[in-house]
Amino acid sequence: MDTLLLKDLIPILQTAVGPVILISGIGLLILSMTNRYTRIFERTHHIVTKLPAATAEERKNLIAQLRVILKQAYVVRAALALAVLSVFWTAVLIISLFISVVFQLGFPIWIATLFILTLSCLIGSLIMFIVDINMSLSSLKIEVGLHREKEEEK
């Protein structure tokens, strides 16, 4: 009897553990976003330390960069929150799949909803990540513009 139970349990566990791969992938995405978030703080600190010695024109450009970077921090935070929510919904999905199969409960609409929530949060996170990268480019354009003006003055 115990052997039969184990034979029945293995496919159930395989079904429930499948979405764990999604958690692994999202974990790498979260790691990447966390590194970007840290870089935003480092860049902010670097700019803030340059402000006291800056000329009026440099100060204007540094403040413009800080404005972009602050918006970028909010975007990355939202991307991280959505990625973490995606992991949360995936964990709930795994538990639901396991309970559904073990107790032979049929709630496919609930499982489909969880799956859609998981992927929707992931898609939202990826979109925010793309927005963040575009904002980085905006900040870079401000900085390059500043350096280009200095080169032209020489």
Provide the domain limits for residue 47: 23-153
Q: Is residue 112 part of a domain?
A: yes
Q: Is residue 5 part of a domain?
A: no
pTM to 2 decimal places: 0.80
Q: How confident is the model at residue 71 (pLDDT cuts 50, 70, 90)?
A: very high
Residue type, 40: I
CA 147, CA 49: separation in Å to the nearest integer?
A: 18
Q: Is residue 11 part of a domain?
A: no
Q: Is residue 79 part of a domain?
A: yes
141: left (phi over 0), alpha (psi -120 to 50) or beta: alpha
Query: For 48, how many CA atoms within 13 A lie in the half-sphere containing its CB?
Result: 9
Q: Which residue has the higher pLDDT, 42 or 149?
A: 42
The count of domains in the chain is 1
- DSSP-based helix, strand, coil % in the chain, nearest 5: 95, 0, 5
Q: Is residue 88 part of a domain?
A: yes
Mean pLDDT, range 61-79, rounded to an integer: 93
CA 68, CA 137: separation in Å to the nearest integer?
A: 10
Q: Is residue 1 part of a domain?
A: no
Q: Is residue 17 part of a domain?
A: no
- Per-residue pLDDT at 20 exceeds 60: yes
Q: Is residue 61 part of a domain?
A: yes
- Per-residue pLDDT at 34 exceeds 50: yes
Under a CB-based contact definition with an 8 Å cutoff, are residues 61 and 144 in contact?
no
